[in-house]
Amino acid sequence: MYKTELLTELKSLDLSHEPDEDIERILREIFQGGVPIMTTDYRYPKELERAVNNTEEEPLFSTKARISYKPKEFNKTYLRASTPDHTMFYASVIPEGKLTEEEIIYARIVGSAETVDLLRDSLDGERLITFGKWQVQDLISVITIFDPNIDYHIKYINDVRDSYNSHDMFDEEIEKRDELLAFLASEFSNKVEKGNNYDYMISAIFTELVTKNGADGVLYPSVQSDGYGLCVALHPRVMDRLKLVKVLECKLIKNGTNAQLINEKFCEVKDHADTFDLKEIK
Protein backbone atom coordinates (compact mmCIF):
# COMPACT_ATOMS: atom_id res chain seq x y z
CA MET A 1 0.00 0.00 0.00
CA TYR A 2 1.28 3.46 -0.84
CA LYS A 3 2.61 5.42 2.12
CA THR A 4 4.29 8.81 2.07
CA GLU A 5 7.20 7.35 4.04
CA LEU A 6 8.00 5.06 1.11
CA LEU A 7 8.27 7.98 -1.28
CA THR A 8 10.46 9.83 1.22
CA GLU A 9 12.74 6.80 1.39
CA LEU A 10 12.89 6.60 -2.41
CA LYS A 11 13.79 10.28 -2.72
CA SER A 12 16.55 9.92 -0.15
CA LEU A 13 18.49 7.24 -2.06
CA ASP A 14 21.91 8.15 -3.43
CA LEU A 15 21.51 7.03 -7.05
CA SER A 16 25.24 7.30 -7.73
CA HIS A 17 25.60 4.12 -5.66
CA GLU A 18 23.12 2.42 -8.04
CA PRO A 19 20.76 1.09 -5.34
CA ASP A 20 18.66 -0.88 -7.86
CA GLU A 21 17.42 -3.45 -5.34
CA ASP A 22 16.21 -0.74 -2.94
CA ILE A 23 14.44 1.12 -5.76
CA GLU A 24 12.67 -2.03 -6.94
CA ARG A 25 11.65 -2.98 -3.39
CA ILE A 26 10.21 0.47 -2.63
CA LEU A 27 8.35 0.71 -5.94
CA ARG A 28 6.85 -2.75 -5.42
CA GLU A 29 5.65 -1.74 -1.96
CA ILE A 30 4.21 1.54 -3.26
CA PHE A 31 2.14 -0.13 -5.96
CA GLN A 32 1.26 -3.30 -4.05
CA GLY A 33 -2.01 -1.88 -2.76
CA GLY A 34 -2.95 -0.40 -6.11
CA VAL A 35 -2.45 3.15 -7.38
CA PRO A 36 -4.80 4.41 -10.14
CA ILE A 37 -2.82 5.10 -13.31
CA MET A 38 -4.10 6.22 -16.70
CA THR A 39 -3.23 4.33 -19.89
CA THR A 40 -3.21 5.23 -23.57
CA ASP A 41 -4.25 2.67 -26.19
CA TYR A 42 -2.94 2.60 -29.75
CA ARG A 43 -4.63 0.63 -32.51
CA TYR A 44 -4.27 0.18 -36.27
CA PRO A 45 -3.39 2.33 -38.23
CA LYS A 46 -1.60 4.50 -35.65
CA GLU A 47 2.02 5.24 -36.61
CA LEU A 48 5.12 5.67 -34.45
CA GLU A 49 8.44 7.02 -35.68
CA ARG A 50 11.82 5.90 -34.42
CA ALA A 51 15.01 7.89 -35.08
CA VAL A 52 18.42 6.21 -35.22
CA ASN A 53 21.80 7.91 -35.62
CA ASN A 54 23.91 6.89 -38.59
CA THR A 55 27.66 6.74 -38.02
CA GLU A 56 30.81 6.87 -40.13
CA GLU A 57 31.02 3.09 -39.74
CA GLU A 58 27.34 2.71 -40.75
CA PRO A 59 26.39 5.54 -43.11
CA LEU A 60 23.53 3.49 -44.54
CA PHE A 61 21.12 1.10 -42.83
CA SER A 62 19.44 -1.77 -44.65
CA THR A 63 17.92 -4.08 -42.03
CA LYS A 64 14.81 -3.78 -39.90
CA ALA A 65 16.66 -5.11 -36.86
CA ARG A 66 19.23 -2.30 -37.04
CA ILE A 67 16.61 0.44 -36.71
CA SER A 68 14.53 -1.42 -34.14
CA TYR A 69 15.30 -1.64 -30.40
CA LYS A 70 18.85 -1.95 -29.10
CA PRO A 71 19.81 -5.64 -28.68
CA LYS A 72 20.15 -6.67 -25.05
CA GLU A 73 23.89 -7.39 -25.38
CA PHE A 74 24.52 -3.74 -26.33
CA ASN A 75 22.20 -2.30 -23.69
CA LYS A 76 24.82 -1.61 -21.05
CA THR A 77 23.43 1.30 -19.05
CA TYR A 78 20.31 2.93 -17.65
CA LEU A 79 18.23 5.10 -19.98
CA ARG A 80 14.96 6.92 -19.36
CA ALA A 81 12.82 3.80 -19.64
CA SER A 82 15.31 0.93 -19.88
CA THR A 83 17.73 -0.84 -17.57
CA PRO A 84 20.87 -2.80 -18.50
CA ASP A 85 18.73 -5.96 -18.27
CA HIS A 86 15.63 -4.56 -19.94
CA THR A 87 15.95 -2.97 -23.38
CA MET A 88 13.10 -0.95 -24.91
CA PHE A 89 11.92 0.32 -28.30
CA TYR A 90 11.91 4.13 -28.19
CA ALA A 91 9.85 6.17 -30.65
CA SER A 92 8.04 9.47 -31.09
CA VAL A 93 4.30 9.76 -31.54
CA ILE A 94 1.89 12.48 -32.59
CA PRO A 95 -0.86 12.95 -29.95
CA GLU A 96 -4.42 11.88 -30.57
CA GLY A 97 -7.02 14.48 -31.52
CA LYS A 98 -6.63 18.04 -32.73
CA LEU A 99 -3.25 19.63 -32.02
CA THR A 100 -2.66 23.09 -30.60
CA GLU A 101 -0.52 25.65 -32.41
CA GLU A 102 2.33 25.00 -29.96
CA GLU A 103 2.52 21.25 -30.41
CA ILE A 104 5.09 19.66 -32.69
CA ILE A 105 3.23 18.18 -35.64
CA TYR A 106 6.07 15.99 -36.94
CA ALA A 107 7.28 13.04 -34.88
CA ARG A 108 10.52 13.36 -36.85
CA ILE A 109 11.37 16.60 -35.05
CA VAL A 110 10.82 15.04 -31.64
CA GLY A 111 12.88 12.00 -32.60
CA SER A 112 15.73 14.23 -33.81
CA ALA A 113 15.73 16.23 -30.58
CA GLU A 114 15.83 13.06 -28.49
CA THR A 115 18.53 11.37 -30.57
CA VAL A 116 21.03 13.87 -32.01
CA ASP A 117 23.70 15.55 -29.90
CA LEU A 118 23.71 18.66 -32.12
CA LEU A 119 20.22 19.54 -30.95
CA ARG A 120 20.96 18.89 -27.28
CA ASP A 121 24.32 20.64 -27.07
CA SER A 122 25.79 23.93 -28.29
CA LEU A 123 27.30 22.31 -31.36
CA ASP A 124 27.27 23.06 -35.08
CA GLY A 125 27.68 20.48 -37.81
CA GLU A 126 25.97 17.75 -39.80
CA ARG A 127 24.54 14.36 -38.86
CA LEU A 128 22.76 11.58 -40.72
CA ILE A 129 19.59 10.21 -39.13
CA THR A 130 17.41 7.32 -40.25
CA PHE A 131 13.71 7.36 -39.42
CA GLY A 132 11.59 4.24 -39.43
CA LYS A 133 7.82 4.62 -39.55
CA TRP A 134 6.16 1.78 -37.65
CA GLN A 135 2.43 1.12 -37.97
CA VAL A 136 0.47 -0.40 -35.10
CA GLN A 137 -1.24 -3.64 -36.15
CA ASP A 138 -2.92 -4.69 -32.90
CA LEU A 139 -3.74 -3.11 -29.54
CA ILE A 140 -0.82 -1.58 -27.62
CA SER A 141 -1.54 -0.16 -24.16
CA VAL A 142 0.96 2.12 -22.39
CA ILE A 143 1.11 3.80 -18.98
CA THR A 144 0.70 7.57 -19.41
CA ILE A 145 3.09 9.63 -17.29
CA PHE A 146 1.95 13.09 -16.13
CA ASP A 147 1.70 15.35 -13.09
CA PRO A 148 -1.99 15.90 -12.16
CA ASN A 149 -1.32 19.54 -11.25
CA ILE A 150 0.72 20.75 -14.24
CA ASP A 151 -0.42 22.46 -17.43
CA TYR A 152 1.40 20.76 -20.29
CA HIS A 153 2.18 22.02 -23.78
CA ILE A 154 0.39 18.94 -25.14
CA LYS A 155 -3.40 19.03 -25.23
CA TYR A 156 -3.69 15.24 -25.12
CA ILE A 157 -1.75 15.01 -21.84
CA ASN A 158 -3.89 17.80 -20.38
CA ASP A 159 -7.04 15.91 -21.43
CA VAL A 160 -5.76 12.76 -19.72
CA ARG A 161 -4.94 14.82 -16.63
CA ASP A 162 -8.43 16.37 -16.57
CA SER A 163 -10.09 12.97 -16.92
CA TYR A 164 -7.95 11.65 -14.11
CA ASN A 165 -8.73 14.59 -11.84
CA SER A 166 -12.48 14.17 -12.41
CA HIS A 167 -12.52 10.92 -10.40
CA ASP A 168 -14.14 11.26 -6.97
CA MET A 169 -11.68 10.64 -4.15
CA PHE A 170 -11.16 11.75 -0.58
CA ASP A 171 -8.90 14.80 -0.20
CA GLU A 172 -6.27 12.77 1.66
CA GLU A 173 -6.19 10.16 -1.12
CA ILE A 174 -5.88 12.87 -3.77
CA GLU A 175 -2.97 14.47 -1.93
CA LYS A 176 -1.09 11.17 -1.70
CA ARG A 177 -1.87 10.23 -5.29
CA ASP A 178 -0.76 13.61 -6.61
CA GLU A 179 2.46 13.49 -4.62
CA LEU A 180 3.37 10.11 -6.09
CA LEU A 181 2.44 10.91 -9.69
CA ALA A 182 4.22 14.28 -9.55
CA PHE A 183 7.37 12.47 -8.44
CA LEU A 184 7.14 9.91 -11.25
CA ALA A 185 6.54 12.68 -13.78
CA SER A 186 9.58 14.56 -12.51
CA GLU A 187 11.73 11.43 -12.92
CA PHE A 188 10.57 11.00 -16.53
CA SER A 189 11.22 14.68 -17.28
CA ASN A 190 14.62 14.76 -15.59
CA LYS A 191 17.41 16.21 -17.78
CA VAL A 192 20.37 13.97 -17.06
CA GLU A 193 23.98 15.13 -17.39
CA LYS A 194 26.14 13.14 -19.78
CA GLY A 195 27.76 10.24 -17.94
CA ASN A 196 25.27 10.31 -15.03
CA ASN A 197 23.01 7.57 -16.39
CA TYR A 198 22.32 6.37 -12.85
CA ASP A 199 19.95 9.36 -12.61
CA TYR A 200 17.61 7.42 -14.92
CA MET A 201 17.36 4.52 -12.48
CA ILE A 202 13.96 5.27 -10.94
CA SER A 203 12.08 5.85 -14.21
CA ALA A 204 13.87 2.89 -15.81
CA ILE A 205 13.12 0.45 -12.97
CA PHE A 206 9.53 1.71 -12.77
CA THR A 207 9.13 0.95 -16.49
CA GLU A 208 10.65 -2.49 -16.07
CA LEU A 209 8.20 -3.29 -13.28
CA VAL A 210 5.05 -2.11 -15.08
CA THR A 211 5.98 -3.93 -18.29
CA LYS A 212 6.56 -7.11 -16.29
CA ASN A 213 3.03 -6.67 -14.93
CA GLY A 214 1.11 -6.29 -18.17
CA ALA A 215 1.74 -2.80 -19.55
CA ASP A 216 3.24 -2.64 -23.04
CA GLY A 217 5.31 0.42 -22.20
CA VAL A 218 5.16 4.06 -21.11
CA LEU A 219 4.16 7.33 -22.78
CA TYR A 220 5.69 10.62 -21.60
CA PRO A 221 6.36 14.19 -22.79
CA SER A 222 9.63 14.54 -24.70
CA VAL A 223 12.33 16.04 -22.48
CA GLN A 224 14.63 17.18 -25.28
CA SER A 225 11.81 19.05 -27.08
CA ASP A 226 10.95 20.80 -23.79
CA GLY A 227 7.66 18.95 -23.47
CA TYR A 228 6.23 19.96 -26.86
CA GLY A 229 6.25 16.39 -28.19
CA LEU A 230 5.52 12.86 -27.01
CA CYS A 231 7.77 9.83 -26.63
CA VAL A 232 6.83 6.20 -26.17
CA ALA A 233 8.99 3.35 -24.90
CA LEU A 234 7.72 -0.15 -25.71
CA HIS A 235 8.70 -3.60 -24.51
CA PRO A 236 10.31 -5.71 -27.29
CA ARG A 237 7.51 -8.29 -27.00
CA VAL A 238 5.14 -5.88 -28.78
CA MET A 239 7.27 -5.74 -31.92
CA ASP A 240 5.05 -8.37 -33.52
CA ARG A 241 2.25 -5.79 -33.20
CA LEU A 242 4.24 -3.22 -35.16
CA LYS A 243 5.02 -3.22 -38.88
CA LEU A 244 7.85 -1.22 -40.43
CA VAL A 245 6.25 0.49 -43.43
CA LYS A 246 8.62 3.29 -44.51
CA VAL A 247 12.23 4.33 -43.97
CA LEU A 248 13.70 7.79 -44.55
CA GLU A 249 17.32 8.92 -44.27
CA CYS A 250 17.85 12.62 -43.57
CA LYS A 251 20.78 14.96 -43.16
CA LEU A 252 20.56 17.32 -40.20
CA ILE A 253 22.48 20.57 -40.64
CA LYS A 254 22.81 22.88 -37.65
CA ASN A 255 24.38 26.33 -37.54
CA GLY A 256 23.81 28.29 -34.35
CA THR A 257 20.10 28.31 -33.60
CA ASN A 258 19.17 27.26 -37.14
CA ALA A 259 18.61 23.60 -37.91
CA GLN A 260 17.42 21.96 -41.10
CA LEU A 261 16.42 18.37 -41.95
CA ILE A 262 17.04 17.45 -45.58
CA ASN A 263 15.43 14.28 -46.97
CA GLU A 264 18.07 12.26 -48.84
CA LYS A 265 16.99 8.62 -49.20
CA PHE A 266 13.66 6.83 -48.90
CA CYS A 267 11.89 3.51 -49.42
CA GLU A 268 8.72 1.68 -48.59
CA VAL A 269 9.18 -1.65 -46.83
CA LYS A 270 7.55 -4.80 -48.16
CA ASP A 271 5.35 -6.81 -45.80
CA HIS A 272 7.32 -9.25 -43.63
CA ALA A 273 10.64 -8.08 -45.12
CA ASP A 274 13.67 -8.04 -42.83
CA THR A 275 15.67 -5.82 -45.17
CA PHE A 276 15.04 -2.67 -47.19
CA ASP A 277 16.82 -0.76 -49.94
CA LEU A 278 17.02 3.02 -49.52
CA LYS A 279 17.11 5.01 -52.76
CA GLU A 280 18.24 8.59 -53.29
CA ILE A 281 15.41 11.11 -53.51
CA LYS A 282 15.61 12.98 -56.82
The confidence band for 101, taking pLDDT boundaries of 50, 70 and 90, is confident
Following DSSP, what letter does each residue of 16-77 receive, concatenated?
A: GG--HHHHHHHHHHHHHT-----EEEE-TT-EEEEEEE--SS-SS--BTGGGSSPPGGG--S
pLDDT per residue over 19-43, tens digit each? 999 999 999 999 887 777 899 999 9
pLDDT at 143 over 60: yes
pTM of the model: 0.95
pLDDT computed for residue 151 by the predictor: 96
